[in-house]
Amino acid sequence: MPDAGFHRLRPAAAAAIAIALASFLAPGASAETATPWRHGLISAHGDAGFFYMVQNGFAEKQGLKLEIVQFKTDILALQALIAGEIDSFEGGPDGSMVASARGGDLKIIGCDWPGLPYGIFTRKDVSSLAELKGKTFAISAPSANPAVVARAVLQKHGVDPASVNFANLGGDLDRFKAVAAGVAAAGIVSNEYVPIAEKQGMKMLAAARDALPDYLRQCMMSSTKLLAARHDDAVHFMAAEIQAWRYAVAHRDEELKLTRKITGIKADDPRPEFVYDDAMRSHAVDPEFTIPVQKLQWMNEELVKEGNLKQAIELAKVIDPDIRAKALALAGAK
């Protein structure tokens, strides 16, 4: 059953999210003394073990009672954070940068998955992105990370995004199925579908990270207001995340087991193994939550080029390195 406290979410957001609740009490702590922390995640995929590992005792060791709220897109998570319905979320930093430029109260406090896992998937008979002109292209919400990445990849390959017909066809699996069924000629989808694409008569035509090596997939976001009011709690939460990600990176079998538990992906489905091994091989994840300022600045400038920002924002206003710095001290040596 969803936590009754989330019934206050706006109807549009409530209809779009599924609740995954994990409540842990620190050893010897009572329900009254444990500190609640509400954290938003995008719908669980083949990499879920990395993001949910914090539930496996790491949050409770930092004295937190953790509630994880699962959102369909990072835009919905962003809206929930601005509305005060969650305390933090992990998602594409581009949406937060745009929201900040428009007066939203957002802070980037660390980045756990700097590598870009998306790719443009098509049927096998498509040989170039230029062939997609005039065709239906499956994206997520227009301002969400996959959609922004799709437009940027097309531009990088010399294809005007305005020449394709973008259609919001849901999450990764929905978009993958849309291409497999011929509903869309192409779709922006996580590369976790590479090992099962061939059986569906599909392929990944272009890898996003090859075209956009500086594009950040995911960072941790909170708000100035919350970080001021709950500074110590935020430090403990970040410390728990750092410890959890370090553990996930070092324990492949346990990360894979947790991924299958969270998602229900069957034992004969190769996606979790592919995601883990690809992430390790390409150094796509960062358990230290480094804030890559140069990459954020590149994204800042790209958002201006794409027309999402009128002018580049002052990054210092949307980055808070203090939380991570103190969390690293709490988390201990790497």
Same domain, 317 and 226: yes
pLDDT-derived band at 316 (thresholds 50, 70, 90) equals very high
Q: For the sheet containing 118-123, what is the strand order?
A: 165-168, 136-139, 186-190, 118-123, 202-207
Q: For the sheet containing 18-21, what is the strand order?
A: 18-21, 64-71, 35-42, 88-91, 218-222, 107-113
The amino acid that residue 153 corresponds to is: V
What share of the chain has pLDDT > 70, as a percent? 90
Please give the structure tokens belonging to residue 331: 């988390």
Same domain, 225 and 176: no
Q: Count Cβ neighbours within 10 Å for each residue of 40-78 and write b for 16 or more, e otherwise.
A: bbbbbbbbbbbbbbbbbbbbbebbbbbbbbbbbbbbbbb
pLDDT-derived band at 107 (thresholds 50, 70, 90) equals very high
**Torsions phi, psi for 168 (to 5 deg):** -75, 105
**Torsions phi, psi for 125 (to 5 deg):** -80, -5
CATH number at residue 178: 3.40.190.10
Host domain of residue 261: 4-115+216-331
Q: What is the pLDDT of residues 207-234, one digit of tens each?
A: 999 989 999 999 999 999 999 999 999 9
Strand 218-222 to strand 18-21: parallel, antiparallel, or no bridges (unpaired)? Answer: unpaired
Residue 217 and residue 113 in contact, taking contact as beta carbons nearer than 8 Å: yes
Q: What is the pLDDT of residues 64-87, one digit of tens each?
A: 999 999 998 888 999 999 999 999
- Check residue 15 and give its pLDDT: 37
Same domain, 206 and 239: no
Same domain, 243 and 126: no
Q: What is the pLDDT of residues 4-36, one digit of tens each?
A: 333 334 444 443 333 333 333 334 344 457 799
Point out the domain boundary residue: 165, 193, 211. 211
Same domain, 178 and 236: no
More confident residue, 28 or 134: 134
Same domain, 222 and 183: no
- Check residue 34 and give its pLDDT: 73
Same domain, 91 and 155: no
Same domain, 65 and 126: no
- Check residue 30 and give its pLDDT: 44
Same domain, 148 and 126: yes
In terms of DSSP H, where are the helices of 135-251?
Answer: 145-156, 172-180, 194-197, 208-211, 224-229, 231-250
- The total domain count for the chain is 2
Could you tell me the CA-to-CA distances from 130 to 34, 136, 157, 329 in Å, in that order?
55, 13, 8, 50
Could you tell me the CA-to-CA distances from 17 to 22, 29, 135, 139 in Å, in that order?
16, 30, 30, 18
Point out the domain boundary residue: 211, 245, 276. 211
pLDDT at 44 over 70: yes
Q: Count Cβ neighbours within 10 Å for each residue of 205-231 and write b for 16 or more, e otherwise.
A: bbbbbebbebbbbbbbbbbeebbeebe
Point out the domain boundary residue: 177, 211, 245. 211
- Check residue 63 and give its pLDDT: 96
Same domain, 240 and 98: yes
Same domain, 102 and 232: yes
Strand 186-190 to strand 118-123: parallel, antiparallel, or no bridges (unpaired)? Answer: antiparallel
Same domain, 88 and 201: no
